[in-house]
Amino acid sequence: MVRLFSENKLVPTIEMVAEASGVSIRSLYRYFGDGQTMVLEAIEGLVAEAKTVGIIPNVGEGTFAERVEALVAARFRAYRLVRFVLRAALVNIANNPDLTASQHRTRGLLEFQFKAQFAPELSQLDEAEQTRVTQSGSAICNLEFIDMLSDRQGINEQDAQTIVRRLLTDILAP
* Residue 103, pLDDT score: 78
* Residue 174, pLDDT score: 64
pTM: 0.82
pLDDT digits (tens, 9 = 90+) for 71-115: 999 999 999 888 888 877 777 777 777 777 777 888 888 899 999
Give the domain extent around 166.
2-172
Q: Are the beta carbons of 42 and 21 closer than 8 angstroms?
A: no
* Residue 94, pLDDT score: 76
* Residue 158, pLDDT score: 97
* Residue 128, pLDDT score: 96
Distances (CA, A) of 37 to 28, 34, 100, 105, 122: 10, 6, 14, 19, 40
User: How many CB atoms within 10 Å of residue 1?
Assistant: 21
Our count of domains for the chain comes to: 1
Give the CATH number, domain containing residue 133.
Answer: 1.10.357.10
Task: Show pLDDT as tens, one digit a residue, over the chain (174 residues).
Answer: 677 776 777 777 778 878 877 878 888 777 777 777 777 777 788 778 777 888 888 999 999 999 999 999 999 999 988 888 887 777 777 777 777 777 788 888 889 999 999 999 999 999 999 999 999 999 999 999 999 999 889 999 999 999 999 999 999 986
